[in-house]
Amino acid sequence: MIDIEKYKYYQGENLIFIVGSPRSGTTWLQKLIGSHPDVGTGTESDLFSYYISALNRYWNIQKQPTGRGYMGLPTYMSEDEFQTIVKVFARSVMNKMINNSKYFVEKTPQHAFYIKDIKKCFPEAKIVHMIRDPRDVCFSIIRVSKDWSAIGATTIRKAIAVWKKHIDSINDSRKYFSSNHFLEIQYSTLFSNTPEELSRIMRFIGLEFDDSLVKEIVNRNTIERAKKNDDFRFKLRGVIKGKSTEPAGFINTGGIGSWEKGFNWYQRIWLQYLLKKVSEGRFSERARLLEITHKVLGSIRSNGFLATGLKVLVKVFNYHWQLFRFRKLLKL
């Protein structure tokens, strides 16, 4: 049974939430911080993205009348009472995750969309935002989407959309935190000068350390060792026991500028063209031409010769349209 009074006033002073786009190096950062002897960590909990968000979503739905009037928990308690219960639930779960650690670092990519909820439940928690070159992020997203990841972004446009959604959400939530509770880390800086950046992160959190400890942690968590996965496995102590596993290639090059070698010339130009659209505020998640194409094809009920012929014509048209755009872009 949950002791409401025990968790009612806990503010999350010893919690660190790592946020960032998928494939931006958040797992590596998690292991670096989690290697400190006073810090505990574990697998992605999805506490807010799956559990807290579901509670809040259905609460808000049931605050609205249905054909039968009002139903559900809003007919039994006030908004404050419900939110208190949600906070107590989140805090008691986090207490179980923390176990006996002095500090705890949590990393779930989807929590980028629930930073405001994190702030409500844990006002004193600290946020560390990992920022990586979007070109490297997009290359990595596409690579894992074609292999094992559920991200499902197998094209450059879709990968940019995934990156943009996470970054936009994090930036929108930045205003809820002071500089004492929100820290931005550049992946390139952490990669090129790991000891100094890790020391800065530890000072931000409030951890005690010296140069020898930092050196030991850095040597234990190099990218090359990370690729082997063995040192990146977390102990599982719930219903599921053992150690966490990651698919082969979960950490690939881990370097800077991998997109230049991974993409061909055509993809590199297209990537930078779309990122320019993002910076101008004119990026669209879906190509407008393709949207029109799908509507036209969707209106055709027949699966016969006419539909097949139209699909071929559309593909030819799309090819020449993209060729025209690139000629214009390259001023050929």
> Residues of the chain with pLDDT > 70: what percent?
80
pTM of model > 0.75: yes
Q: Which of 35-39, 149-153, 228-232 has the lowest mean pLDDT?
A: 228-232
Summarize pLDDT for 211-224 with one digit per residue, the tens: 999 999 999 998 77
With beta carbons less than 8 A apart as the criterion, state whether 218 and 195 touch. Answer: yes
105: β partners: 16, 41
Mean pLDDT value across residues 169-194: 95
Give the β-pairing of 241-243 and 235-237.
antiparallel
Say which residue, 292 or 271, is predicted with more confidence: 271
The mean predicted confidence, pLDDT, of the chain is 86
pLDDT tens digit string along 231-244?
567 777 788 878 77
Strand partners, 19: 129
Predicted confidence at residue 331, as pLDDT, reads 52
Note the pLDDT of residue 48.
97
Residue 255: is its pLDDT beyond 70? yes
pLDDT of residue 244: 75
Strand order in the sheet with 103-107: 39-41, 103-107, 15-19, 126-131, 182-186
Greater confidence (238 vs 169) lies with: 169
Q: What is the DSSP letter of 69?
A: B
- In eight-state DSSP terms, residue 230 is G
**Which of these ranges, 86-90, 118-122, 146-150, 311-315, has the smallest mean pLDDT?**
311-315
Higher per-residue confidence, 25 vs 251 = 25
For domain 4-132+164-253, the CATH superfamily is P-loop containing nucleotide triphosphate hydrolases (3.40.50.300)
Q: What residue segments make up the domains of the chain, in order of their start?
A: 4-132+164-253, 288-332
The one-letter code for the residue type at 193 is: N
Give the residue-averaged pLDDT of 33-48: 95
Confidence at residue 275, expressed as pLDDT on a 0 to 100 scale = 94
Confidence of residue 294 (pLDDT cuts 50, 70, 90): very low
- Provide the token pair at 205: 């959190």
What are 95-106's pLDDT values in tens digits?
Answer: 999 988 999 999
On the question of pLDDT at 292 being above 60, the answer is no
For residues 108, 112, 116 and 119, what is the CA-based torsion angle, rounded to 10 degrees? 40
Residue 113: is its pLDDT beyond 80?
yes
**What local confidence, expressed as pLDDT, does residue 122 receive?**
96
Q: Taking residues 44-50, what's their average pLDDT?
A: 96
**Phi-psi group of 12: left, alpha or beta (phi > 0 → left; psi -120 to 50 → alpha; rest → beta):** left
Give Rg (Cα) of the chain.
24
